[in-house]
Amino acid sequence: MLKLLIFAPCEKVIIGEGGQSSVIGVIEMIRLQVTDEPIPSDALIPFRWGFLTLWNRGESVEEPIKYQEQVRIFRPDETDTGFQADAEFEVNMNFKNFRQHNDNIPVFPAGMEGRYELRLFLRRAGEEAWEEHGRFPVIIEHIKPNKEKQDGQQES
């Protein structure tokens, strides 16, 4: 029924006067300055971001259909971070495309280095089972400060 056209995490989504979407700063990697102290695996960093999803109605619908969309984030070890963004929208004959966006999320999970995955799920409202429709990887890199030797030269 619905075909996913775009699923992208970004710094900002702008909806123009004509209804066109602009995605600013697609997030592929986040580099985080860290200390030598261990970071909890469930740590969150202050980082304003959001995402855009764009769906296309491939066929006619006799009656409007309500859908629920959910975005979740998984750590490099495949554990769920607990982040969840939900939206509900109605598919009808007035439009071919259906857009969901959120660009006001204040934190991002970053306790582990490696590949995090944003996963997009969809279901008809009232149904129990979610169907996965997309994944978008975001690499988290922890950068430790260079240590200085007593003579002023950096360690390698």
d(CA 127, CA 67): 9
Own/partner contacts of 116-119, CB < 8 Å, gap of 24 or more, are 116/73, 116/74, 116/75, 116/76, 116/81, 116/140, 117/73, 117/74, 118/7, 118/9, 118/51, 118/71, 118/72, 118/73, 119/71, 119/72, 119/73, 119/74
pTM of the full structure = 0.88
Domain 2-143 sits in CATH at: 2.60.40.3880
> In this structure, are strands 65-74 and 80-91 parallel, antiparallel, or unpaired?
antiparallel
Domain boundaries, the chain: 2-143
User: Which has more confidence, 137 or 146?
Assistant: 137
Per-residue pLDDT of 51-100, as tens digits, reads 999 999 999 999 999 999 999 999 999 999 999 999 999 999 999 999 99
| pLDDT digits 0-9 by tens, 86-138 | 999 999 999 999 999 998 999 999 999 999 999 999 999 999 999 999 999 99
